[in-house]
Chain A
């Protein structure tokens, strides 16, 4: 067990205990141990191919771990299906935008709201005034897409898609939100909007952020885990990480 985390009295939101994931001969992630405390803002930093996204996928269940154990609020979720984990309160966005491109912004958010509730096979249409629709409107305002509700996803900008994605990840009132390179591919004009939006997220929401851009990662987190070649190399506060010779070697060595 890692002693690096100051042991808090509350149950950790997420614990990874020696988690590994192997694809055939490739050990993409090995022996990762993490403790994420309630309300923590954690960045996972590392060069391309470090295993960050694979680690995310083991947490949300797309690729369950091949070794180790993951607990969420004390419950072992190592082998739960992705939709079960989502219902427990793990919200995520993906590295590449994967919204439902043939549906409108409103419909995308509506589905995310419905997903968190029973009656998922409902054959009844929502009527005006339906609480789900109210919730959709509130989410849209929160991520500032309420002016494009009836526009199809394939007709909105990349930055707006990111905002919709975060809105969807927030829909189930998640207790843990995982963002996979949320700023990737955004224009200089769109980036501040996203950073602001992230800063406005409720403080009791635990956030894990994958970034390969060091500046974004350090600016948006309280604690940073640095990965390389599938293992955790450093875990510390943003300013210490910035000065860490090993981290500098990784990044300068990569020519970044």
Chain B
């Protein structure tokens, strides 16, 4: 589990400070289409890392859960084209969308509550594909293949959400809050129980914890996190379509989490950044239709060379030079 020493807090603060300063250094394209996009997809990947690393549940339904929030905010958005009967201000639509994702996460957890490993993967994959196909075929609410357009997001202090600075800073704030939420939760009794379930679910029950309820709560929390990602992704894409939550998007999030490293919440964002950079520049390197080849090769290389991803490789490098945060760091009181 993660222990934040004062040194690590300083590194976190330094990292956040650099990210805060990025708008001064980078052109808008990098700010929004690379870093902003990496942050919002990173939040969805973070929800997967949280489940996988601390609970031991590799869920493929996180993109779907983000999609529930995305569709929910789109259906309720006041700017939607076509405008739905539920249109309401963004101030109400966004929290309701995140709430919907939290419920969706809990439902995924309930369905998958007794499955493990490959069976959990299959069930969550089936849910993900099923929801995407449902969205594609439902016209009344989901607007079928076309999806819902013009989800521009709320105005923030008089500025449109799509202003690069606004989009970037809000994405950054949400990403940092979700990241800190995960770091905090895993040190609480609830988070410790999740890690206990990961290590031995039978024993967790033997000492008196209800394993199933904790699993469902973990999926709900992961749904809450993915929901924020889903809302921001919908604003980023100015709308939502079934393909944006389909099989490829699902695999994409899994790839981000694995490339970055499932061993630490930060891995989700590192992986998302690498993925987005490659997605953006693949076309100029080897042609856009070769993106899947490129990301596939990178994925293969990572899995073979550093199963704990870029984060793990970085940690080993730092340790090799003897100054890393690695090694059992001196511990704070408890947890």
Contacts and interface: CB of A to CB of B under 8 A. Distances in A.
Interface string A148-174: 001010000000000000001101100
Given A100-B200, A103-B1, A110 B209 contact: no
Contacts of B192: 103, 107, 110-111, 114
Interface residues of B, number: 32
Given A99-B199, A121-B217, A150-B331, A82 B206 contact: yes
Which of the listed residues A82, A108, A116 has the most CB atoms from chain B within 10 Å of its own CB?
Answer: A82
Q: What band does the interface of chain A fall in when counting residues whose beta carbon is under 8 Å from B?
A: 35 or more
B207 A172 contact: yes
B189 interface: yes
Interface in A8-65: 60, 62
Interface stretch (A123-131, A189-197, A234-242, A246-254): A123-131
B335 A125 contact: yes
A207 B217 CA distance: 35
Contacts, number: 115
A171 B190 contact: no
Chief secondary structure at chain A's binding surface? loop
Interface string B293-335: 0000000000000000000000000000000000010010111
Chief secondary structure at chain B's binding surface? helix
B193 interface: yes
A126 B334 contact: yes
A139 to B, nearest CB: 12
A108 B196 CA distance: 8
B208 to A, nearest CB: 4
A150 B328 CA distance: 9
What 9 A-B pairs are tightest by C-beta distance, nearest first? A115-B208, A86-B208, A100-B199, A115-B207, A98-B200, A100-B196, A98-B203, A122-B189, A82-B205
Interface of B: 1, 184-185, 187-190, 192-193, 195-196, 198-200, 202-211, 213-214, 217, 328, 331, 333-335
